[in-house]
Structure 1
Amino acid sequence: MAHSLEYLAAGANRHPSAADWNDEGVLAYGADRNVALWNPQSSQSKGLICILGGHTDTVNAVKFIPGSPGILLTGSVDKTVKIWKKTDKEQGYECVQTLTNHESSVNCIAVTEGSNIFTTGSADATIKIWSLDEDYVATLLQSITVKPRFFPLALAMESLTGAPGSYVLAVAGTKDIIQLYVLDAAKEHEFKFQASLAGHEGWIRSLAFKRETDSPESDLLLASASQDKYIRLWRIHQGTQLPVAAASADPSLGAYMPGKSLSNKAHRFKAEGLDFSATFEALLLGHEDWIYSAAWRKRGSKLQLLTASADNSLAIWEQDESSSVWVTISRLGEISAEKGSTTATGSTGGFWTGLWSPAGDTVVCLGRTGSWRLWNHDAEQDRWIKGVGISGHTQSITGIAWSKEGDYILSTSSDQTTRLHARWRRGDQETWHEMARPQIHGYNLNCIDTLGGSQFVSGADEKLLRVFNEPKAVANLLHTLCGFGGNQIEDMPDAANMPLLGLSNKAIEAVEDDQEILPSNNTNDRDAIDPASITHKSTLDLQHPPLEDHLSRHTLWPETEKLYGHGFEISALAASHDGSVIATACKASSLDHAVIRLFETATWHEIKPPLTAHSLTVTSLQFSPDDRYLLSVGRDRQWAIFSRDAEKPHTYTLQQSDPKGHTRMILDAAWVPHGAQVAFATAGRDKQVKIWVKENEDEGFKHTGNNIVETSSVTAIDFCQIPVSEAEGTEQTLLAVGTESGMVTVYFLCGLEVIKEKSIDLSLRPKASKAITQLAWKPVAPQGAGQQKLELAIASEDSSLRIFSIEY
């Protein structure tokens, strides 16, 4: 059996230093405790290439060493810096060294082209200077304790003009000053403090050096981006004469407002016998909120500066030739302050980092939702055009569910979103993308299941379940881009949006492009609609996967029902295969709350009384393939079987339970697909998967004696039947097993016997860095369908969603 990775998605960490783009076109970014690799300029618009695991906590800093053979540096909250080297293997990179000298979270890394020195800054208020040898093994050269004490959040390093062996290091962070340290190659080989640049009035989040021209005598420009909403430029000049101060900004723009220090004090220092000065150069105004990142690039003979801000915009700055004033020549993102002003739109928090491509013809930025937005420069029209970026969850994925036909998969997460993923089919190309974001919520979402092709139900920490129906906008989009659905859309609402003060998605009608919607004058109106989320008909006509701003505003699904009854956070739910019944459970520490509630979907009434068997939280609910049985497993170490009443198909009664099914809590369960025998498997904290079978109608379920033993707790399992013709004889199934350590193994079963020689270890590509939360096989065609591709979706606590295809 051959297997390959079809889809990999993971959202980016919200940290200005957690991404970098190398000269080969690969963008690396921190994704939870992993490092994700993506090629933004790929013609195939494919998602992630791979994920590198190794850190044990959130990745804060990512930096490629320019000019090196693919050397990547990453820093993490786990206090370590890892050095990755490019390999010929499929995964691409391997960790060759881990540096453990810091005593707290590593927040930033600085490198410079042509140098074997790099620096790291940490929340232990130290900066460490490292040297790389020819084999790229790092050695600690120096440790600097920052005084006055603050936490470094940004570093930048560059060689000094006329003194190629000497370097200037800029350090900034949780204070409003920038410290300059200089390495004088002619004297001691240590960085010495030389100057403190004052002027900002808030924390400084980003620093970037750039030579003003290609001349060896060129001055250095330092850009600093701050939470005071301003960018300051500083000039480092070689020579005793001070440079002529450029105009800081047009006075009419408010640059000389009271309280804004535009002092041009010169800070002098020496290196290799040469005189240098650091002076304030310019104040850049235009952003309306904190500025998180600044990045330089050279366009012809001109310098351009890219800044990303919490005001949901990217700005590209250039110096006007006639006035020498730095002005914004392009602004990307969301201009209106009204847009993105509520959490309902999913945009609050703005842009966390902006990056140039190596050639400068593409820019990307990272938003609050973990998604990357992308713009390509059209040279003929001299304008920036939106392209297809990538997206992913930013916290643990708690549930996944395929549609009944297997056309798309829904994922739900602790990041309070539900996302729909499907294949974009165009010509002979197929790539997976996030196609809709049906639910943006105010509570962590815990579980999900589908009801037919155009309805799903989800449970959250808010103690109730919500039912959603597909809108016409999403149905048309999936039909156009993915080639399925599009039937019976007349009865669907056009779209949905969320009231400013509510959690329930409301069905709405799309309006004509020239129709104006005025905001409500009543500030206490819970049903008031955010004008920014009004859907116009033209916005629903797309020829490519929806971009991030479209996903968060125009692909919501309207909510049709709320299901009440539980007293605590929803822990598990399952929909019957015929879609007529929903079973749910909540977190519980007593018999009273550890009940299973059933709801019938025709009228959405609860079927009483609730089912009782467990004494602690029910962790998983599963209906048998024919809906005849409902299986529940829980933290009380037992499993229970409820059988359906033949005369009342919505009524289930307890038939059998095993209080000692496992020696520790049971975390998941799955039914064996249709076959001659009725059987299911349970998996638990005791590192075992047990298979139970009902051999005849008069007896209960018994343990077959078949145990699969893993090396760590088993957190997720799922069965898939291999379609075979009747002539092929014995039924064959695959059992996917996911563990707490992030490994996934697929076992081949002939009948109910496990043939371990045919197990498939998917963890080599690579394993998740946290526990597997759920496994889900794509629904397969009926028996006798001939050879086809099986697909397995894997959800993990590390925020990654993977889909593997397995050909047999």
Structure 2
Amino acid sequence: MDEDNTWIEYLSVGANRHTAVADWSQDGLVAFGADSNIALWRPHDSQPRGVTSLLSGHKDTVKAIKFLSRSEGEGEGAQHRTYLLSGADDHCLKIWSLSRDGVTECIQTLQEHTASVNCIATVYERKGRRRSDSSTATIFATGAADASIKIWAFDGREARVVQTINPKPKFFPLAIALSRLDESGEALVLAAAGTRDIVQIFVVESIANPEFQLQATLTGHEGWIRSLDFTWEKDNEGDGMGSDLLLASASQDKYIRLWRLHQGKELPAAVANGADPSLGAYLPGKSPSNKAHRLNTGGKDYTVTFEALLLGHDDWIYSAKWYTSTETGRLQLLSASADNTLAIWEADPSSGIWVTNVRLGEISREKGATTATGSTGGFWTGLWSPDGMSVTCLGRTGCWRVWNYNKDEDQWTPQIGISGHTRAVTGIAWAKNGDYLLSTGADQTTRLHASWKRDNNSTWHEMARPQIHGYDLNCIDSLGSSQFVSGADEKLMRVFDEPKAVAKLLGRLCGINDSSTAVDAMPDAANMPVLGLSNKAIEAIDDDAEISTSANPETDREALDPGTTVRKSALEIDHPPFEDSLSRHTLWPETEKLYGHGYEISCLAVSHAGDLIASACKASSVNHAVIRIFETRRWTEIKPPLTAHSLTATRLRFSPDDRYILSVGRDRQWAVFEREEQGVPKNGDEGDNTAPEDAAPSYKILQANPKGHTRMILDAAWAPSQPQVSFATAGRDKSVKLWRRGEGETEFACAATIAETHSVTAVDFHPRPDKDGRFVLAVGTEIGKISIHILDPRSLTAVSSFTLRAELCLAKPVLQLSWRPQTDSSELAVAGDDSSLRIYRISDDEK
């Protein structure tokens, strides 16, 4: 094993829910903010790999992403370079250089703003247009929560602020758009809006000396404005003269307004002729104003007039993006709304009325819930592909949905998108046979990840979402090939069984066949009742069953609710599930609840035999810091609980042979409990004449070390079975300690220490020694560094060590590490506080 032979097998991460959080470049690369990282994804790759890499550098949530293109040099030697601009809650603006070979580096970090950077705008350039200015600088703008807009000049090496605009009346910019004012001159126009119901228009005469002046304030919206976008109305093949500039503004008032910027003092023909500017589409009693706003710069006159009001969404509109076909000049507008729909608008050729000709989305499970009433659902942003043949949108779960346009069938078809946790990944667990990986997180979801195998290719995807909870989830472990248990910020644990739909899906796509349980005996699927936390088993319905379409369910009691039913055809798919199927069709039914703890569950572990569950909860006293053991045949607790700690236990681990239980905690101590040879009756009643073979095993304290580390212990792991028993503990004192009990010895003693530069937050031993019998230990720290140590099995000292490359490490603490069991390859799963789930393959040709 070495650093150079480590690569990414799988990256799963959800996007931050902000309108300006993503952009789609001309060469097909999508970049989006994921916690404090920037994720890179190519939706049109021949193999749907999902996120290919994560760029770390920001210290807080990334909110704004924008690609910037520059032509550097003149004549035939000119080079076209692509840069990426990113803004975040850390007040920083970063500029990244993207090379053709996929290498990305941050070339500049700027902190001119004093609050979160919310939006970024670059100059809209028509494809193929030759710039007539002699300036070598590229202009872009940023808007931030310090109520300012900054104008930047970028020369390809560094950017500098050339102007700061403080909007009056004061508002926080949520959306800005920048464009050339006409096709022949150097004048620029900047539109800005945000936490008011107005759009401000600024103009500047020349790029060489940018000094924007406010010249118009557009009114009409009745809520905050979330998105602005410019486009040219026509795409003339000639000099481009005569083309008007159109501005789309999307608002929380549920409407989109279109504005026309026309060169000359004369009004556009439709307005001059007295036609209703909304062309018949306006609210009753609220006829839109057709007041003409005058602009003047560089000796040229322009008018800004209201063009149209677009009605059709039922909730806040977060995003509106233009696309103009370079072949036909066809103009389309893509809007994303909190009403769970993505709409494509076009002007009717005969009447000119803007209508929705495509509507994509999903059935809302929360009837009557809107953003105004506290729902955080819907789509947060929508993007066009460079060729206009695909669209993608960001959903409330941090996922990306993708649709491709099929010319032959004239319809938009869904494609495989990507998904991931949107908050810290707090727990991971492989199936006992290593077939799939379970993850759970602070975003209150449990996800199942597996490898999709087809045509000699395999790629990892989220295959099921077994649990969608109402509490933050803290820990998880597998009970076998078709069952798991999870713990959350509640006082109980929940056990889930695999449904038939997921079992068949995993068998069909991943080659995972469950031999331990009869698939036909499983329930078809599960759903979660309204206001409930427990998934209930349900049977799939036939495709011809009647579905309720009534707005009032009381009048149609016999019909089925489309939001809580599953059709059999929806489960027979030949690809990884799309997001709407993941959240509705792949839930696992809950079969048991395990009670006993007094506070939130902090950690749990399942024995390798699957017959016992050990658990602990948050605690500040000895009475609550106990470890409770549950047996899985009758789901009862084995009493009395195990006592050792005085504060919260942070990790529990069963030894490979289940003979020992290791616990570590915030009280700086570790404890080892040994299995007693003689079991006790499972119901805990000493007078019960239960047969000995039906008795549950019990554990007793073997050794406790109250000074195991000088600060709290955060993780622990057992070494593979050897003649001597060994384990590792990881502490906030920046060390990993290796403990050993040799043959004939009664206690564990510290045999070696691995020093780290930061607090050690996660450790795990490879389940098998290497070919020389040496142990392989993975170590993760609070700064996201991951290192691999090869240990001598007798002395437990490190024979060799290496640290994963910087681009493979995390931006935030490593919360858990887990080697994949029962496979020939070495695959390491990593759970991060930066909301990322990773699987690294570490090549070892000699193993």
Task: Say whether residues 1:643 and 2:671 are aligned partners.
Answer: no
Tell me the residue number matched to 1:277: 303
Q: Is residue 17–residue 108 contact of structure 1 (8 Å, CA) maintained in 2?
A: yes
Q: Distance in 2 between matches of 1:583 and 1:117?
A: 60
State the distance in 1 between where 2:184 and 2:56 align.
40
- Cα 1:722–1:643 change in 2 (3 A) is closer
1:287 and 2:334 equivalent?
Answer: no
Structure 1 337/196 Cα, relative in aligned 2: closer, same or farther at 3 Å?
A: farther
Q: Is it true that 1:178 corresponds to 2:181 in the alignment?
A: no
Kept after mapping to 2: 8 A contact 1:249/1:326:
no
Q: Residue 494 in 1 paired to residue 524 in 2?
A: yes
Query: Is the alpha carbon distance of 1:240 and 1:6 closer, same or farther for their aligned partners in structure 2, counting shifts above 3 Å?
Result: same
Equivalent in the alignment of 2:349: 321
Task: Identify the residue that residue 120 of structure 2 maps to in structure 1.
Answer: 109
Are positions 1:219 and 2:219 aligned together? no
**Are 1:233 and 2:264 counterparts?**
no
| CA deviation string 1:38-64 (max 9, x = no partner) | 001111011111000000000000000
Task: Please tell me whether the aligned partners of residues 15 and 399 of structure 2 are also in contact (alpha carbons under 8 angstroms).
Answer: yes
**Are the structure 2 counterparts of residues 187 and 609 from structure 1 closer, same or farther at C-alpha, using a change threshold of 3 Å?**
closer
Q: Secondary structure at the match of 1:474?
A: helix
Question: CA offsets, 1:660-699, max 9 Å, x none?
Answer: 0000000000000111211100001001000101112441
Distance 1:495 1:117, change over 3 A: same
Aligned counterparts of 2:207 and 2:452: Cα–Cα separation in 1: 59
1:297 matched to 2:349? The reply is no
Q: Contact 1:247–1:324 (CA<8 Å) still a contact in 2?
A: no
Task: Give how far 1:256 is off.
Answer: 3.8
Conserved? CA contact 1:19–1:28, under 8 Å? yes
CA RMSD across the alignment: 2.1
Amino acid across the alignment from 1:263? S
Pairwise CA distance, 1:756: 5.0
Pairing partner for 2:39 from 36, 42, 50: 36
- Structure 2 distance, partners of 1:17, 1:211, is 21
Between the aligned partners of 1:423 and 1:349, the Cα distance in structure 2 is: 29
Q: Which residue of 1 aligns with 2:686?
A: none
- In structure 2, runs of 5+ residues without a counterpart are 71-79, 126-130, 132-136, 680-695
Q: 1:340 to 1:261 in 2, by over 3 A?
A: closer
The gaps in structure 1 that reach 5 residues or longer are: 782-787
Give how far 1:750 is off.
Answer: 2.6
3-state SS, counterpart of residue 792 of structure 1: strand
TM-superposed CA distance for 1:766, in Å, is 2.8
- 1:94 aligned onto 2:105: yes
Most deviating of 763-772 and 547-556 = 763-772
**Aligned-pair distance for 1:380?**
1.2
One-letter code aligned to 2:313: H
Within a 5 Å distance, the mapping from 1:379-418 to structure 2 comes to: 379-418=407-446
Q: CA separation in 2, counterparts of 1:760 and 1:471?
A: 42
| Closer/same/farther in 2, CA of residues 530 and 461 from structure 1, 3 Å limit | farther
**1:492–1:324 distance in 2 versus 1, CA, 3 Å:** same
Q: How does 1:726-765 map onto structure 2 within 5 Å? A: 730-753=772-795, 758-765=800-807
CA contact (8 A) 2:403 2:412 kept: yes
2:762 pairs with one of 707, 716, 721: 716
Letter in 1 for 2:832: S
Displacement, 1:625? 0.5
* TM-superposed deviation, 1:378: 0.4
1:174-218 CA distance string (max 9 Å, x none): 000000011112996300111100000000000000011122331
Instruction: Specify the SS of the correspondent of 2:520.
Output: coil
Letter matched to residue 267 of structure 2: L
Give the letter aligned to residue 753 of structure 2. Answer: N
2:836 to 782, 797, 800: 800
CA-to-partner distance for each residue in 1:392-436, whole Å, 9 max, x for gaps?
A: 000000000000110100000000000000000011110000000
* Inter-CA distance 434–271: structure 2 relative to 1 (3 Å threshold): same
Alpha-carbon offset, residue 298 of structure 1 = 1.1
Aligned AA for 1:182? V
Partner of 2:534: 504
Which residues of 2 match residues 540-551 of structure 1 at below 5 A?
540-551=571-582
Give 1:87 shift: 3.8
TM-aligned CA distance change 1:512 to 1:522, over 3 Å: closer
Residues 392-541 of structure 1 mapped to structure 2, 5 A cutoff: 392-487=420-515, 488-516=518-546, 531-541=562-572
**Change over 3 Å in CA distance of 1:368–1:256 after alignment to 2:** closer
1:152 and 2:173 are equivalent in the alignment: yes
Judge which range, 770-779 or 485-494, deviates more: 485-494
Shift of 1:515: 1.4
Query: Which amino acid in structure 1 is aligned with residue 487 of structure 2?
Result: G
Query: In 2, distance between residues paired with 1:12 and 1:110?
Result: 20
The answer for the alignment partner of 1:120 in structure 2 is 142
Q: 1:745 to 1:186 in 2, by over 3 A?
A: closer
TM superposition shift of 1:531: 3.6
Cα 1:754–1:383 shift into 2, 3 Å: same
Q: What SS class does the counterpart of residue 453 from structure 1 fall into?
A: coil
Measured against aligned partners, the alpha-carbon deviations of 1:284-306 in whole angstroms (never above 9, x if no partner) come to: 01111100001111132221000
Please say if 1:193 is aligned against 2:214: yes
- TM-score, normalised to structure 2's length? 0.90
In 2, the alpha carbon distance for the partners of 1:744 and 1:15 equals 30
TM-score, scaled relative to structure 1: 0.94
Matches within 5 A, 1:512-661: 512-516=542-546, 531-648=562-679, 649-661=696-708
**Partner amino acid for 2:758?**
S
Counterpart among 244, 251, 257 of residue 284 in structure 2: 257
Greater Cα offset, 77-86 or 748-757: 748-757
Match of 1:773 among 807, 815, 824: 815
In 2, Cα distance between equivalents of 1:35 and 1:362? 22
CA deviations on 1:138-157 (whole Å, 9 max, x unpaired) are 01100111111110000000
CA contact (8 A) 2:734 2:759 kept: yes
Letter aligned with residue 120 of structure 2 = I
Change (3 A) 1:9 1:116: same
Return the offset for 1:590.
1.0
Which residue identity does 1:625 align to in structure 2? P
With 359-368 and 759-768 compared, the bigger mean Cα shift is at 759-768
Q: CA deviation at 1:70?
A: 1.9
SS at match of 1:512: coil
Residues 755 and 237 of structure 1: CA distance in aligned 2, closer, same or farther (over 3 Å): farther
Instruction: Tell me the secondary structure at the aligned position of residue 504 of structure 2.
Output: helix
1:568-600 Cα shifts (integer Å, max 9, x gaps): 111000001101110000111111111111111
**How far apart in 2 are the matches of 1:596 and 1:338?**
39
Aligned mates of 1:197, 1:668 — CA distance in 2: 58
Using a 3 Å threshold, how does the CA distance of structure 1 residues 638 and 55 change in structure 2: closer, same or farther? same
Q: Which amino acid aligns with 1:80?
A: C
Q: Which residue of 2 aligns with 1:129?
A: 151
Partner of 1:699: 746
Structure 1 match to 2:21 = 18
Contact residue 734 and residue 749 of structure 1 kept, 8 A: yes
Q: 4+ runs of 1 displaced by more than 6 Å?
A: 336-340, 519-523
Residue 337 (structure 1) shift = 7.9
Is the deviation greater in 204-213 or in 237-246? 237-246
Kept in 2, the 8 Å contact 1:455–1:467? The answer is: yes
Q: Does 1:72 align with 2:84?
A: yes
Distance 1:76 1:642, change over 3 A: same
Matched to 1:217, the amino acid is G
User: 2:449 is paired with a residue of what secondary structure?
Assistant: strand
**Count of aligned residue pairs for this structure pair:** 786
SS where residue 475 of structure 1 aligns? helix
Aligned with residue 27 of structure 1, among 25, 30, 33: 30
